Amino acid sequence: MPLSHLKFDNRLLAQLPADKETGNFCRSVESAAYSFVTPAASQNARLIAVSEEFAAQLGFTEQDINSEQFAQVMTGNELLEGMQPYSLCYGGHQFGQWAGQLGDGRAINLGELVTKNLGHQTLQLKGAGKTPYSRRADGMAVLRSSIREFLCSEAMFHLGIPTTRALSLCLTGEQVVRDVMYDGNPALEPCAVVCRVSPSFLRFGSFQLPASRGDEQLLQQLVEFSINSDYPHLLPANGEFNQQVYLNWFSEVCERTSDMIVAWMRVGFVHGVMNTDNMSILGETIDYGPYGWIDNFDLNWTPNTTDEQHKRYRFGGQAQISQWNLFQLANAIFPLIGEAEPLQRLLSDYGIHYKRKWCNMMAAKLGFKDYQGEGDLALFESLEKLLSTVETDMTIFYRLLAKIPNDLNTQTATGWLAILGPCYYSMLELNEQYLQEFTRWLRSYLLRVNIDGLKQEQRAEAMNKVNPNYVLRNYIAQQAIELAEQGDFSEIIKLQKILKKPYDQQPEHTSYARKRPDWARDKIGCSMLSCSS
């Protein structure tokens, strides 16, 4: 029978305490890391898309994927032997305010799949019905948000960015009412389920909630489970936990988090809702809600309309917010450490380490062999100011910059304009002052490039390995959604293929590398997104 060969080993369930109440109704869950819950039955499960290569790595065969059973399992209609569905209990700060208990409101973990090469991988269904943490919601997810999660998870992975994965995307046959922009215009939308995959779905908020309740026993159990399961290299030889082990764990969480944020900045990704309950303890990008990709470079841009006024989670603020979130995690684990100074030191170091990583990343984006100090930093900062002065497509700019000859004549703007022109949204914005300032910047840039002694072709090759040609532009995702809502899923499959090789030229798909068209500038789903899903 298909899928019967898969093996599950649910370590989290075995090692952490369960909610004693087994009914599926909303409640405060105390002294427990999770609640058992059964996915809602769906009328007409239908597989739309699957990440075939990832499925194979997980142990699924082609026969498995093509079976009717696969769609049934991936929507929660059928459980395999060893699956024990549950939802996690956690809290979190939302937009800077403590929100208390939150939990998996529409996510149901099926179990931990034992794989040959990827270790334990938790399969999680997003949109499979109500849980004890759904509050006033229905636990369902609509097709548009599910497509965005499915495509972006895999796009991020192929860009080389730490992320949860998306195994499958299925329709359920149900419809629910949603008000996309919270403006009093509700409408029926089709439901879908994404199967998300990660070694762990623990979040910062998983540790915050028991700490807020003074439940040090559960807090300690959670931290030690995380170390045992996902940071086993930190375990001491004698197997005994102590303050230093906990500090080493927190230090590595900080490192992984900063690596993730630097990677976001490299490709122009804006998460949109960096609440502490949306921060993975593994340093993976998680919870793809009102995210967006930078079209014209703008450090103040956020795709989330809920955040439009204060811009807490704007593109340029993501590093600062990640540090703030880590501060909340440090507060949560303080009872295990017993003193503030070592935690404060790690948090202070976070900014220093982030800046170093960011500088190294920018050096790579510009094709330098390495980062060489304050002179390079001045180049980075003056470039970002120039990119913000006029509407400049970030993705296209860096790809075109790689084409600039090392010996380009920079006495005038004529030479570089002929190469970089396509990255600008309006050539009319390029006034004489801008042309002079950018020409001066380019002159300094080329002087710095030539110090490295790389030929232009070598520099271009290096730059094109870190500067993608293809990202999941907001309007491209929206076009795929609109077709899918009409029953045409071909664009999803096509985007899957293109986004597997984001750094390649792929000349047959150049239309997907074009900058945002004018019609998408103020279109819902392209420049404005909400948490409605």
Give the range among 12-16, 133-137, 319-323, 355-359 with minimum mean pLDDT: 133-137
DSSP 98-156: EEEE---SSEEEEEEEE-SSS-EEEEEEESB---TT-TTS-SBEEHHHHHHHHHHHHHH
Query: How confident is residue 533, by pLDDT bands cut at 50, 70 and 90?
Result: low
Tell me what the mean pLDDT of segment 65-87 comes to.
97
> pLDDT tens digit string along 149-206?
999 999 999 999 999 999 999 999 999 998 876 677 788 999 999 999 999 999 999 9
Strands 120-126 and 187-198: antiparallel
Report the share of the chain in percent with pLDDT over 90: 92
pLDDT value of position 343:
98
Residue 128 and residue 40 in contact, taking contact as beta carbons nearer than 8 Å: yes
Residue 301 and residue 268 in contact, taking contact as beta carbons nearer than 8 Å: no
> pLDDT tens digit string along 223-269?
999 999 999 999 988 889 999 999 999 999 999 999 999 999 999 99
Neighbours of 312 (CB within 10 A): 18
H or E element, residue 73:
helix 68-74
Q: Is this structure's pTM higher than 0.95? A: yes
Q: Is the pLDDT of residue 387 over 90?
A: yes
Long-range CB contacts (within 8 A, 24+) of 344-351: 346/247, 346/250, 346/251, 346/254, 347/254, 347/323, 349/254, 350/254, 350/258, 350/323, 350/326, 351/319, 351/323
pLDDT value of position 526:
79
> pLDDT tens digit string along 284-325?
999 999 999 999 999 999 999 888 899 999 999 999 999 999
Residue 443 to residue 421: CA distance in whole angstroms: 17
CA atoms within 13 Å, Cβ hemisphere of 133 = 27
pLDDT value of position 38:
97
DSSP 259-298: HHHHHHHHHTEE-S---GGG-BTTS-B---SS-EE-SB--
Neighbours of 182 (CB within 10 A): 13
Residue 125 and residue 167 in contact, taking contact as beta carbons nearer than 8 Å: no
pLDDT value of position 146:
97
Strands 187-198 and 141-142: antiparallel
Catalytic residue chosen out of the listed positions 104, 230, 277, 393: 277
Measuring CA to CA, which residue among 421, 425, 415, 418 is closest to residue 389?
425
> pLDDT tens digit string along 6-56?
999 999 999 999 999 999 999 999 999 999 999 999 989 999 999 999 999
Tell me what the mean pLDDT of segment 131-160 comes to.
96
pLDDT value of position 364:
98
277 in active site: yes
Phi, psi of 472 (to 5 degrees): -80, 75
Q: Is the dihedral of CA 184, 185, 188, 192 positive or negative?
A: negative
> pLDDT tens digit string along 479-504?
999 999 999 999 999 999 999 999 99
The CA R_g of the chain, rounded to the nearest whole Å, is 24
Across the chain, mean pLDDT equals: 96
Query: How confident is residue 531, by pLDDT bands cut at 50, 70 and 90?
Result: low
> pLDDT tens digit string along 430-449?
999 999 999 999 999 999 99
The residue with greater pLDDT, 334 or 532, is 334
